[in-house]
Chains A and B, each alone.
Chain A
Amino acid sequence: MNRVVTDSTRLQEFLFGIKDELPILIGVIPFGMIYGILALSAGLSPSQAQAMSAIVFAGSSQFMLVQLAGTGTPVLMMILTGFVINLRHALYSASMASYTSHLHPAWKTLLSYLLTDEAYAVTINHYRQTNNRQNKHWYFLGAGVALWGSWQISTALGIFLGAQIPPSLSLDFTLALTFIALIIPNIQDRASILAAISAGSFALLTVSLPYKLNLLGAAIVGIIFGLWVEEK
């Protein structure tokens, strides 16, 4: 991840974004396939299953929604659930905002659509290491497009091929490992260590909360602890 701090072309940034997203795709592709399989077994049509991947484009909420659809949950409840699960994206949006403020609204409109957990994780890392680069929004675009394409294709594969990857391979674990690799190098001072431990512990203790509310709570706890240690 250590790159020379000189400016790079749009194409170079775009390709860096794709390249850094590749390890994440090992975990994302089986995840997307499983989603496609589950969506059909919950009673969605193939076009609905695919449309959800394109329109909602947020894995954990899609899993929750097809599960709720399968159990006949009222529409309003499903909409509310999906909305709340995806609220953490507001935090990503806030932390990206200072890096994207100079961009044309068309860019903001496009990049917001691509702002997923997986694209955010690599992009915020890159932005913090290379803030002086002019074309760095092309990196975001590359990471986002790589994830978007593989999410759509893996959904389609799940719909048409059915279960092909044995769950005993535990490929879903590669996602957690990738997040570890991206976050650990950023935990360098006491404040970050405390923020990580407090947020992780809070999420662990409140894991039974519905709608992944434990993630939002944990983020707030982590931020407060980080700022508190900084002050001291």
Chain B
Amino acid sequence: MTSIWLVIISVGILTYLTRLSFIMILSHWDTPPIIKRALHYVPIAVFSAIILPELFFYDGALNISVNNPRLLAGMIAIFVAWKTRSVAWTVIVGMIILLAAKTYF
């Protein structure tokens, strides 16, 4: 497993350069308004794309019903997040619903 060092260092450098890319370049570039508006949607789009599969997949399969504890907990968490804007409440209520649903369904 000596080649794993090559993987670690190569992926490390490539990932770092990816993270550094625009932070280093764009500071000397007057960003066009269309790009600025496009970037506004980056967090909304990427995190929605991370979250939805987490909710709709249960035990490795697509499950769109209240028998899917992740979907149920996620929907309630979305409501709590919308009402309270609090990370703590969203996580607490979401986890309680998830664990309760897994136990009793």
Contact = CB atoms under 8 A, between A and B. Distances in A.
- A and B, one complex? yes
Nearest to A192: B44
B22 A97 contact: yes
A45 B74 contact: no
Given A112-B16, A121-B47, A173 B73 contact: yes
A56 B36 CA distance: 29
A96 B23 contact: yes
Contacts of A2: 85
A227 B53 contact: no
Interface of B: 1, 3-12, 14-16, 18-27, 31, 34-57, 62, 70, 73-74, 77-78, 80-82, 85-91, 94-95, 98-99, 102
Report the contact-size class of chain A (Cβ under 8 Å from the partner).
Answer: 35 or more
Contacts, number: 267
Contacts of A98: 26, 31, 36, 39
A232 to B, nearest CB: 14
Nearest to A218: B49
Given A89-B19, A170-B98, A177-B91, A222 B1 contact: no
Nearest to B56: A204
Contacts of A184: 78, 81-82, 85
Given A44-B1, A115-B19, A200-B52, A108 B27 contact: yes
